[in-house]
Amino acid sequence: MSRTPVWKSIALSLTSDIAEGRYGTGDRLPTEAQLSATHGVNRHTVRRALAEMAEQGLVHARRGAGVFVAARPTEYPIGKRVRYHQNISASGKIPGKKILSLTTRAADETEAEALELHPGDPIHVYDGLSLADGQPIAVFQSVFPAARFPDLLTALTETQSVTKALRMNGVADYTRISTRLTARQASVTQALHLRLSEGAPVLHSVGINADPDGRPVEYGRTWFAGERVTLTLTDN
């Protein structure tokens, strides 16, 4: 098993410090010399860690002044009621969505099982990009039973909101009935959308949402930029 590069460990440590509030937005990080001494490495290693964090949008350098925290990682709770716009707004940031594609196709075995369909049944597929203060934090793919929601794609085009689109199609409420989280490395496409380096850490979430009668209405897969999001599991 390969070891994590030292520069990446430093970047992850500093990101954790920011996420836990040790450094707030606008705060200056320790100098390269201080970080080199703390971690027992040379300045080149520290510079690479800081460059990685700058690429993630977490810090920015001011010539002659130092490196400053640009933004804290977005707090994102995952519980029974996962509502993207509400979650991002609650974190003090402006939510946004970008539609990458809206299509209808046949369900594969995994999608069919999740939505209690038969393989080959039609599903609507929503591929998109989630934003917080204009910064991409996740790419996602949500699939829905097309026969039950024939007009869903039109509603998604109009609202870019799953909650609003489902409400327009007769589902007034829904809850998360399962969530699975795993650590992954960003693919080329995911890295491009998230403005990450290929192979950067991402958190992969797989979830199923159901209506009040327990019928699945959405099977979603999301890849969060690991250094920009702090996921919190809740009971709500």
What is the SS3 assignment for the chain? CCCCCHHHHHHHHHHHHHHCCCCCCCCECCCHHHHHHHHCCCHHHHHHHHHHHHHCCCEEEECCCEEEECCCCEEEEECCCCCHHHHHHHCCCCEEEEEEEEEEEECCHHHHHHCCCCCCCEEEEEEEEEEECCEEEEEEEEEEECCCCCCHHHHHHHHCCHHHHHHHCCCCCCEEEEEEEEEEECCHHHHHHHCCCCCCEEEEEEEEEECCCCCEEEEEEEEEECCCEEEEECCC
Rounded to an integer, the average pLDDT of 86-92 is: 79
pLDDT tens digits for 13-42? 998 888 777 887 778 999 999 999 999 999
Query: Would the pTM of this model clear 0.75, i.e. be above it?
Result: no
Rounded mean pLDDT of the chain?
88
> Residues 153-209: pLDDT tens digits?
999 999 989 999 999 999 999 999 999 999 999 999 998 898 777 888 899 999 999
